[in-house]
Chains A and B, each alone.
Chain A
Amino acid sequence: ETGVTQSPTHLIKTRGQQVTLRCSSQSGHNTVSWYQQALGQGPQFIFQYYREEENGRGNFPPRFSGLQFPNYSSELNVNALELDDSALYLCASSRDRASNEQYFGPGTRLTVT
């Protein structure tokens, strides 16, 4: 059974640019959640996707958007990058949206300069 994978591992972008982060969910899981973890902080919920539809969103602006594909992999897109977007972005998958167990990937470290 393959665990949750994320790509890329690290990314450096310039303010104002756009970025796409990718996540492959664990086999058999149809729900993906994205979290932003700023340095020295706990993860903050961005949004969740269930069967290709957004299923809840945290307090993040619309320039944070996502997609989920038929194979349940997911993308997080951030437009008009700001310096404060520098963080570790974590993806977590779960068997179903009603599951209370979320399995995390290793994260993507985004640095905005």
Chain B
Amino acid sequence: AQTVTQSQPEMSVQEAETVTLSCTYDTSENNYYLFWYKQPPSRQMILVIRQEAYKQQNATENRFSVNFQKAAKSFSLKISDSQLGDTAMYFCAFMNGGGSNYKLTFGKGTLLTVNP
């Protein structure tokens, strides 16, 4: 079974600065996807960024980028130029790319607070 570990329950950062959230995972599969989801107080889970395991290039989406280290099974999220609206729970998630059931396995989350 796959597991996802987020070792930082809480993080804080000053507005406009950069912060990195950590995530490690465990799997024996070779074909999979990794995700970072954001869950603000409104509770809606929003996809931030996605990485296909077969791609060596790290995914980027505007101010959000990942550092994907496949051998180390590490998938960290870097948020540049942090904004107050980035305050939320951030969840790292894994999805197996094979088979017929594409379920997400989530970590416990990191609460990020952006301070003015």
Chain A 77-113 interface mask (CB, 8 Å, partner B; 1/0): 0000000000010101010011111111111010000
**A33 in the interface, Cβ–Cβ < 8 Å?**
yes
A48 close to B (CB within 8 Å) = yes
User: Max chain B CB contacts within 10 Å: which of A48, A101, A102?
Assistant: A102
Choose among B37, B43, B45, B102 the residue that contacts A100 (Cβ–Cβ < 8 A).
B102
* Alpha-carbon separation in the docked complex, A27 to B46 (Å): 17
Residue of A with least CB distance to B105 = A45
Q: B13-21, B60-68, B77-85, B93-101: which one contacts chain A?
A: B93-101
Q: Are A45 and B45 in contact (CB under 8 A)?
A: no
Per-position 1/0 for B34-58, Cβ under 8 A of A: 0001000011111100100000000
A55 to B37, CA, bound (A): 23
Min CB distance B100 to A, Å, is 6
**Inter-chain contacts of B75 with A (CB < 8 A):** none
Q: How far is the CA of A33 from the CA of B103 in the complex (A)?
A: 8
CB distance from A98 to the nearest CB of B (A): 7
Extra pairs beyond A33-B103, A100-B50, A107-B44 (11, CB < 8 Å) = A41-B109, A42-B91, A42-B106, A42-B107, A42-B108, A42-B109, A45-B103, A100-B95, A101-B47, A102-B102, A104-B45
Report which B residues bind A (CB closer than 8 A).
4, 33, 37, 42-47, 50, 91, 93, 95, 97, 100-109
